[in-house]
Amino acid sequence: MRSGAEGTGCFPTGRHYPGIAHLLRVVADGVAEEFAADLPVTDLVLACLDTETTGTTAKEDRIVEVGIVLWRAGEITGRHSWLINPERQIPQGAIDVHGISNEDVADKPVFADVCDEILAALEGAVPVAYNADFDRGFVLAELDRLPPATRATPPAVRAKVDWIDPLVWARELQRAEKSKALGEVAARLGIKIAQAHRATDDAEATVKVLAKFFGDSRLPTAYGAFMQEQRRLAREQAEQRKHWR
């Protein structure tokens, strides 16, 4: 980690934002309007979402499972899970990862039939996902396939709201470790995943990893500051990855 001028680590926003907390309502980008930017991030209502899919390309592949775990003030307050008929065959390579077969989803509803339930579960909460671009991309792609309709617009589906992504923080806080896969990060934190690569279990492990990270004194404590620092770290990490190719 880089040290700042005062030797306090690489999280400058954690040091500077408390002095201007009253300005965060105006200047903090990426925050959900339901929550004040100066609210402690540990007080947020979180909806941690995970998807299992037919492949890795959101515009071409489809969701076969959605899991959402709700969290607030250190406690899991709800769990939701949907198996979804992707309206196509699940390739064997995908089955080998998550174990969901074509027979498992043959009689399940299609995404359009459970869309409103999923959006309702996400309502009034800050969205969270491990490697958030992946899950966000799949959810938005599924919504784009549906005909125009009046639907709930929870923070998770608003363009200007950032998802909390524990992977960004894992890359920083566990940067000396080779693997940043959810299972490896969770194991290092003493968190067990009941059934890896199943949506609800992965979502629960993700929110538990995030809760562990919240306990690190180097992280900004205010929601707005937390999201600004996540943005900064994500940009820095993206630049670093360019040099790996």
Helix (H) or strand (E) holding 182: helix 182-188
The secondary structure of the chain in percent helix, strand, coil, rounded to multiples of 5, reads: 45, 15, 40
Asked if 203 contacts 67 with a C-beta cutoff of 8 angstroms, the reply is: yes
Task: Single out the catalytic residue among 16, 80, 197, 243.
Answer: 197
Q: Is 22 one of the annotated active-site residues of the chain?
A: no
Produce one character per residue of 100-137: b if its CB has 16 or more CB atoms within 10 Å, e if not: bebebbeebeebeebbeebbebbeebbbbbbbbebbbe
Asked if 81 contacts 65 with a C-beta cutoff of 8 angstroms, the reply is: yes
Catalytic residues: 197
